[in-house]
Amino acid sequence: MIGKRLAKMGTVVAIEPNPSTFAALQRNVAVNELNNVLCLQVACWDEEGFLTLFSRRLGSSGNSLVHRYGPGPAVQVCPLDTLVERYGIRDVRLIKIDVEGAEARVLRGAQKTIARDSPRLIVEVWPPNYGEVTRLLQQWGYHIQWADRHVLKGWVGGYLVAERR
């Protein structure tokens, strides 16, 4: 678990909007006595408000703000930059993004933090978003490497790791 590995290095901010998954996250943090993990029940986005978190199936952790799988709860959305400011987070070294198609919106909502701290980025990119995500990261001076790349129906997707040059 990342929280345990980083216990002496800093704080891990775990962001999870799904109520049932958030409850499981909190239980795991408590059971593992991870005092350096801050759990926030919110979805990252590029503006503040509330959106429907569509669910693949009841109890699934595969949720999306953009892919309309099925009915789900309304969740609070907020730019990562706002959360970083609100909680006084400094020296962000790593941002991992796994948001089922909302990658570009989340990155735009983290632009100030990314510009300030130049963190390493690990991003799961859904195939239709590959071009937009890679363009944003390259514009911001990031070099992109694929950790896991696949092509699905002509679309490129997978996990990428991006670091400032």
CA distances from 18 to 22, 34, 146 (A): 6, 21, 28
Other CB atoms within 10 A of residue 154 CB: 6
Which residues are registered as beta bridge partners of 164? 142
For the chain, the structural domain boundaries read 2-164
pTM: 0.87
SS (H, E, C) 20-45: HHHHHHHHHHHHCCCCCEEEECCEEC
Q: What is the pLDDT of residues 16-57, one digit of tens each?
A: 999 989 999 999 999 999 999 999 999 999 999 999 898 876
At residue 100 the predicted structure's pLDDT band, cuts being 50, 70 and 90, is confident
Amino acid at 21: T
**CA separation for the pair 58, 71 (Å, rounded):** 9
Burial of 8 (0-12, 13-18, 19+ CB in 10 A): exposed
Q: What is the pLDDT of residues 51-86, one digit of tens each?
A: 989 887 655 556 777 666 677 889 999 999 999 999
Q: Token pair for residue 131? A: 């071009």
Q: Does domain 2-164 have CATH number 3.40.50.150?
A: yes
